[in-house]
Every structure is written in C-alpha cells, then in structure tokens.
Chains A and B, each alone.
Chain A
Amino acid sequence: MIRVVLPQHLRTLAHVGNEISVEVQGRATLRSVLDALEDSYPMLRGTIRDHVTLERRAFLRFFVCAEDWSHEAPDSALPEEIVSGKEPFLIIGAIAGG
C-alpha cells in the first residue's frame, strides 16, 4: 500500500483524514499512484490532474522523499521508500495568492 497525503481541501472533498492508502497494481509510478487514487476517490478527478490531458494542475506539487517530483515524467518509478510505505507520497497546494 502506498501512503498518500492530500492538501486539506481535497481531504474534505474525499471525506478522508490526514493520510490515506492506495493499492497500486504493477509498477508504482506517478501515473499509477494517481490513477489508483482517482479510482478509489473519484470525486478527486479533475482536481489534481486535468480530466483530458492528465497534466498536473499548475498550483499543485508532488513531493517524494523530500524531493520535488512535480516535473518528473509520469511513468518514472517511485523509490522503494514510497513503494514500501515507509514514506508518504505528498500532494501539496503551492503557496500562492499573497
């Protein structure tokens, strides 16, 4: 199971607490984790990635083991710390708006 931490507003939308877990079939990548997240919590579709292009929304960032993965290729394999559940996959709302 992969641990995922959502920003507060998305927790409210998904009716979940601080952290959730999703099961990924096959290789764990940015794409497969987000696919699994949206399958389990369909109310999040369109809030993290565009419905059609699947591109990350501009003001959201992905963090993996203290590194910014926002610009990594969608099929990049996530590190073992994320796959094993030792570290959470972080989806963060960018600080913007003054």
Chain B
Amino acid sequence: MSKVRVLVGTRKGAFILSSDGKREKWDVSGPHFAGWEIYHMKGSPADPNRIYASQCSGWFGQIIQRSDDGGKTWHQPGTAKDQPPPPPGPPVGESNKFVYDASEQTGKPLTTHQWYDGTQHPWEFKRVWHLEPSLTEPDTVYAGIEDAALFRSTDGGQAWKELPGLRGSDTGPRWQPGAGGMCLHSILLDPSNPKRIFIAISAAGAFRTDDGGKSWKPINRGLKSEYIPDPNAEVGHCVHHIANHRSRPNTLFMQKHWDVMRTDDAGDNWREISGNLPTDFGFVIDVHAHEPETVYVVPIKSDSEHFPLDGKLRVYRSRTGGNEWEALTKGLPQSDCYVNVLRDAMSVDSLDSCGVYFGTTGGQVYTSADAGNNWAPIVHDLPAVLSVEVQTLP
C-alpha cells in the first residue's frame, strides 16, 4: 500500500509526519534540528529517501542538512555522518557557503539592488528559503536564497554555485525587498523541458529561463500592483507563490500580494482569476495532483491583517481553473481563528484520492484525504509552520 511522508519546517525545528494511504493514523517524528528555523525541506523525486533541509538561525547562520534514508538520520553534506573527518583532507564543510558570483567571466555581476528607501543596497546572503531537488538527479538541487538569487549544487549539497544570469539580468538593480525580505521563494522545474525553470521573488516578480539558467526574462505582463505607478512595470511585483501541474507546465497559477493570477503561455501573459474569492490576498497556492484545473488557495484578510477573514479558516477550491471558487470548511475552525498560512506551507500528495495539506503559524498541520472536502488536523501544537512538502511513497 502506498504511503505518504509530510515534511514540515517550523520556527523551532523539523517534523516528519508519516501515514499509510488511508491518511488517518499518523506517526510524528521530531523535532529534528530542535531550536533552529527550518525554512524548507524537500525530497528528491528521483530518490525519495534523499531529503534536503534548510536550517538557519540568527546566531549561527545557514546550514544545509541532507538525509539519505528518508529522514531517519541527517548530516551536513561534505562532512562525515557521525564524526568529523580528520584533518588534513579535501575541502569540506562548505555546504553552507553561498557566495554571490562576482566574476567577470560568468555574466554581469551585480553589487546592489533597490533598498526600501529607493537607494541602492549591497546584496547580502541571509538564508535559503526554498530547496528544489532535480526531477532526475538526486545529487542536483537548486536553492532559492535571500537576498534573491538562485544557486545550484550538483554534488548532493556539498558545494553551491550561483546561476548568475538571473541576478545579472538588467532588471536586478530594480529588485526590492518585500516585508519579509528579498527572497527567491518559488522554483518550478519543467518536467517536459529540462532547460526551462520558473522562479519567483518578493518583491521583484516571476522569471523564466529557457536555456538552463544562463539567461532569464521577467514574466510579469498582466500583473497589476497598486503600489507601482507604472501599469506595465516589468519588475517590482510582490509575488507570494507560484504553482503548476506537471502535465501542463505552461499553465502557472500565482498568489500575488493581492490577486490570484493565471497564465497559459508560460508567463508571457497573466490574467486575474480571483473571481468570487472573499479576499484575494494570501500566500499559498497549489494544484490538485490529477486535475490540472483544480486550484487551492487560503484567502487571508489583508496585507495589514495576516489572518483569515472573520476568524474562519477556509480553503478555497476552484475546479474551473479560477474565477469560480468554493469554500472548504469541514473540519477547519470556523470561529476565532487568527493564524496565517505561509507561502510554502501547502502541498498535495498524488494518491488516487488527492490529499491536500497545509500548515499554519499556530502550529497546526491539516490534511484532507479527499481533495479538500473534509479536513482534520494531523498535529495541532507544533511551532509556527514555515513549510509543508509531501512525498507519496510506494
């Protein structure tokens, strides 16, 4: 029977929730890396036992962790699992070294971006927001970082190199941080075209490469942002998350700061699909595993009040690719609920009856084993949830 493994990153450690295909009884493992912020964990599609985790702290900076046994044991890539390697030896311990490419040979290195006050500000590495393992190579993994840039490792996370064409594109000096920092938070790999990658940055917008990361173009036409006077602004949009379905990689769904958007031409043109949502502010967005036109969002009241409207936690589902949305409430708190659901904290499994999962800043992780009709908490007292990813296992 198939199983699911839910990887939960929180403010104070990582948790792994496991169940069989019924998704009724759950084993909870953790906290792993107790006391550390775990911004994101994700398993390799090519080797589900290979899991990468982004661990960080204001005191000690960034750590990358890797498991090769499905989360039972972890190590920092490049270091021995149980004891430090004896010196002298090959260069090791650089799995947390994210250094912006400033070489003349590999593009147009940038040194500054736009700061909150409109002045230029140096690029400074802060943390890894998102780890996206390759669809085919377990040792290849992409990292989206703050301040926004895309890095790649091809040796299982031991060493990282920037793909400088993104930051070095001519729009780089106009990127600016959102309230949460200038983070590259979404990475979508195209299963039908290994040269194509989509990424999104707050608050710069969405970008696409068609040549494996050498060159990038902003794909933000059609996005409207109240705070940007230019209605055709190429960058500056606060994209909160993007998602797509494997079978239709050119159709992307976006939860923007305000507005839920859709493109069917790989980002060249976007149109709004907020429709009848009670508020179109939010962070998460995801797509049903088997129905490419079924989309999920969690509306949040506003950019100044980061909690559900009227204290009711409601997932909204559209089965028409947007515009027509229905509230999903069974099993979710419908009074006095003032949590948030952060941008990487929703995921779906690919069992026959698609499971949907999301985590809250109140420490709950909810699941629905029937595509959103009925919900139940798997856990309800974790630290604030930063990310949720699901692995469907044979």
Residues on A lying within 8 angstroms of B by beta carbon are 7-10, 13-15, 38-48, 51-52, 57, 59-60, 93-94, 96-97
Contact = CB atoms under 8 A, between A and B. Distances in A.
Contacts of A93: 59-60
A40 B84 contact: yes
Interface of B: 35-36, 57-63, 76, 78-79, 82-85, 87-88, 92-94, 96-97, 99
A41 B94 CA distance: 12
Contacts of A38: 93
B63 A47 contact: yes
A43 B76 contact: yes
Contacts of A44: 93
Given A15-B82, A40-B84, A47 B76 contact: no
A39 B58 CA distance: 23
Contacts, number: 67
Given A9-B59, A93-B59, A94-B59, A46 B96 contact: yes
A10 B60 contact: yes
B59 A45 contact: no
A97 B96 CA distance: 23
Contact of B58 (A14, A45, A46, A97): A97
Contacts of A46: 61-62, 93-94, 96-97
Nearest to A60: B59
A55 B96 CA distance: 16
For A7, A14, A44, the residue with the greatest tally of chain B CB atoms inside 10 Å of its CB is A44
B37 to A, nearest CB: 11
B31 to A, nearest CB: 12
A96 B96 CA distance: 23
A12 to B, nearest CB: 8
Contacts of B58: 59, 96-97
Contacts of B83: 15
B93 A45 contact: yes
Nearest to B82: A15
B84 A47 contact: no
B114 to A, nearest CB: 24
